A = this chain, B = another copy of it.
Amino acid sequence: MTHKFKTLDRAPVYVKVCNAIEEDILSGVLKEGALLPTEAELCVQFGVTRSSVREGIRLLQQSGLVERGAAKRLVVKSPKASEIAETASRSMALGGATFGEVFETLAMLYPEAARIAAGRLSDDALGALCDVRDGLRDAAPDAADEIVGYAVEFFQQLANGLDNRVMLAMLQSLNLMIGASLRLVIDQTPNAHERILGAQTEIIEALKNRDEAQARAWMMKHIEDLRRGYVVAKVNLDARIL
């Protein structure tokens, strides 16, 4: 039998440059914070021209594995949950996700998140939630922007306290997607300030008591309240987010 050759790798050079660097990062040869060689250096190492190296770098850059640090040198960076959330929510927006889809997912995730939080939240995390609640309490009842900020921040701090980066990334991406629309809702909901404050207080109480069922139940009520707001504000749930 005649010898069989493997199919040749005909990917463009800039893709190979990207992959080569990415591989060394993934395999741990290049640890977080490590400085990459200069472009000129990469040219001689890979044996290609600077144009190709630069195009390869752009590919890496967008995936968040690398960024320009001090001295403009490229620094290896491991993606943080917040960044993952950002690109994910961004992609979903571009992919045509609707308010309805986002809100439904929110309604599915956060009650469970509250339940888990009840069994795990540290005192620090609880304190952060109380701070948010206190901030909201002291806000003017008609300062819609401020109220929205505190409402989202409450979700944010709850997610933070779960001590699980995967959950955090998912919850954060929901926060980002829902943020804009909450503004509309709270703007047109009577007593929004009072109702959100009440919900936050009850949720905190349940979390303090390590009462998983209560935490979940109050979070559901909180979200159900927001849902009613969507109806009142006549937000079109089939409209694309962002």
- Chain A positions within 8 Å of B, measured between CB atoms, are 14, 25-26, 51, 54-56, 58-59, 61-65, 78-81, 83-84, 87-88, 90-92, 94-97, 101-102, 104-105, 108-109, 112-113, 116, 164-167, 169-170, 174, 177, 242
Contacts and interface: CB of A to CB of B under 8 A. Distances in A.
B102 A108 contact: no
Contact of A164 (B58, B61, B101): B101
Most buried by B among A64, A83, A116, A169: A169
A79 B108 contact: no
B166 A105 contact: yes
Given A62-B63, A63-B87, A102-B166, A94 B78 contact: yes
27 contacts: A26-B242, A54-B55, A59-B59, A63-B87, A63-B90, A63-B91, A65-B94, A78-B94, A78-B95, A79-B95, A84-B88, A84-B95, A87-B91, A92-B165, A92-B166, A95-B165, A97-B166, A101-B164, A101-B166, A102-B166, A104-B164, A108-B109, A108-B113, A108-B116, A109-B109, A109-B112, A170-B170
Contacts of A78: 94-96
A154 B97 CA distance: 24
A72 to B, nearest CB: 11
B59 A104 contact: no
